Amino acid sequence: MIEKGREGAERLVHVSAASADYDVTVGAGTLLELGRIAREAAGGSRCCVVSETNVAPLYADAAEASLARAGYDVARRIVFSAGEQSKRIGTLGEILEALAERELTRGDTVVALGGGVTGDMAGLAAALYLRGVDVVQVPTSLLAMVDSSVGGKTAVDLSAGKNLAGAFWQPAAVVADVRCLASVPADLFRDSCGEVVKHAVLADAALLDELTARPLTADQLDERRLVDVVARNVAIKRDVVNADERESGVRQTLNLGHTIGHAIEAASDFARGHGSCVAAGLCMMARACARRGWCGGETAARIEACVAAHGLPTGCEVPVDELMRYMAHDKKRRGGGVNIVVPVEVGGCEVRRVSLEELRELVELGC
């Protein structure tokens, strides 16, 4: 249950992407302010919460009460089965039908309440319904707060791979209440720390050192620290999205650790957590780049130390041939090459194009 509280001051991060401007509000107890924030940012007199079976029982009542207090006519919520297996065209179709059944109009608002799967799917439904209605993202997992709720990427999975059908659809607002993180299982929270470490490597050397000295896993219930770390992560992502909303340039650096990480994830048939795989991919790429002379050995060591401090893997047991099979089919592959992200130094990463043969050499060096 979300109660009013004072731990950790509220922080606003303003996103100014090419297609939209919006605020990300990060705080403790912020869910109670959802209605006011949505009212100021999004249009319409009606709204509808889209959530899933694990999150809805915990937070949908509080979210809807806040929306109603702000004057919204709140339509009957839409709840789908929790889990990545729901992130399919079929569920998306059901959400769209349910929005139509509730007679939401073009000026009304979808409220995406949940983790990454919910944000991606409800965001895509909002992009498609009536050719686009407002969506307010209300992330309840660490991964969704620091990454997927910000920047406008929405998608569903296809049989051929994850996130293969989607759209860029920026939210009207993002409301991140770190109090929701208290209900996240510790293993899942730890997994999401992989993306937090990645952001620090990309753009905040001081944050990386702080996280190594005191891993975020030690502070899942420390609202003040969570507000600070989540807001700093959002600001890092905001800077990238502001510069390159459509991932034609610098946004590709957010894929740091993902080339190898995605292959590890796919090789486990998605049984391993995304953040853990990104953490392992990040360390492997950093070691490979150090051995290749593209970054200093101390950079790779700093990255590994932070990953290890969070109890996340710094490598993987998957054979190179198998990793290469998945990487050859990666959706980010272009022509005969792959864009990889090189951690030249902590706080300074760059995109480099390599052939599949060069990538294989790097993976061998990183193992």
Q: List residues binding ligand GLY (CB under 6 A).
A: 147, 151, 153, 247, 251, 254
List of E strands, 81-233: 109-114, 134-139, 153-158, 161-168, 173-177
Nearest-angstrom CA–CA distance, 70 and 285: 48
3-class DSSP state for residue 12?
A: strand
DSSP 122: H
In the complex with ligand GLY, the residue whose CB is nearer, 254 or 312, is 254
Nearest approach, Cβ of residue 311 and ligand GLY (Å):
23
Q: Phi, psi (5° rounding) for residue 112?
A: -90, 110
Nearer to ligand GLY, 247 or 350 (CB): 247
Residue of minimal Cβ distance to ligand GLY: 254
**Nearest approach, Cβ of residue 332 and ligand GLY (Å):** 11
Least separation in angstroms between residue 234's CB and ligand GLY is 12
- Which is closer to ligand GLY, CB of 60 or CB of 126? 126
Q: Which of 52, 46, 40, 188 is nearest to 113 (CA)?
A: 52
Minimum gap (Å) between residue 349 Cβ and ligand GLY:
13
- Closest distance between ligand GLY and the C-beta of residue 148, in Å? 6
How far is 79 from 93, CA to CA, in rounded Å?
Answer: 13
Looking at the Cβ atoms of 247 and 345, the one nearer to ligand GLY is 247
Q: Which is nearer to ligand GLY, 66 or 255 (CB)?
A: 255
Count of CB atoms within 10 A of residue 57's CB? 10
User: In the complex with ligand GLY, which residue's Cβ is closer, 181 or 240?
Assistant: 240
Total H helices, total E strands in the chain: 13, 12
How crowded is residue 82: how many other Cβ atoms within 10 Å of its Cβ?
Answer: 17
Rounded to the nearest whole angstrom, what is the least distance from the CB of residue 254 to ligand GLY in the complex?
A: 4
Quick check: 239 and 347 in contact, CB under 8 A?
Answer: no
Query: SS3 of 337, please?
Result: strand
